[in-house]
Amino acid sequence: MNISVNQTQGRVPVAVLSVQGDLDASNYQELIAKARELYNMGMHQILLDLSGASFVSSSGLVAIHSIALLLHGEQPPDLEQGWSAIHAVGRGLVAGPQQHLKLLNPQPKVDRTLEKAGLKEFFEIHADLATAIASF
């Protein structure tokens, strides 16, 4: 997996975090670390571009959930706790659609994974970069 970051200005500054390749157990912590780095730099609005992500595993879902919690000012689940981090995904986003993390153009396979995990109801998903940036 490769991660790239671009910053753009809409009504507010937005970091576009782009994922290329599989997001899985071998690399999901890198994505969380990059989001934490952006958050610590003052970037509190992230658009996660999944157009280049060919696969997202349960670990990838934990990463997305962890980033949403981080941007909401909450502590992400302890990744060393294994399954409890995965179970936290199902109960951690009860506040409704996330305002600080939005998703861009997930590929059909990734979109189905988000659907099966029940995460699509918690994230705005956009197909167009300009529309996504304007939504923040």
Per-residue pLDDT of the chain (136 residues; tens, 9 = 90+): 999 999 999 999 999 999 999 999 999 999 999 999 999 999 999 999 999 999 999 999 999 989 998 998 887 776 666 555 555 555 555 556 788 999 999 999 999 999 998 888 889 999 999 999 999 9
Q: What token pair was written down for 15? A: 């970091």
Residue in 95, 89, 94 with CA at minimum distance from that of residue 56: 89
Report how far residue 95's alpha carbon sits from residue 105's, in angstroms, rounded to the nearest whole number.
23
Domain boundaries, the chain: 2-134
Instruction: Write out the CATH class of domain 2-134.
Output: alpha beta
Predicted TM-score (pTM) of the model is: 0.89
In angstroms, the Cα distances linking 84 to 4, 81, 130 are 29, 6, 36
Tell me 6's DSSP state. E
Residue in 16, 10, 2, 37 with CA at minimum distance from that of residue 103: 16
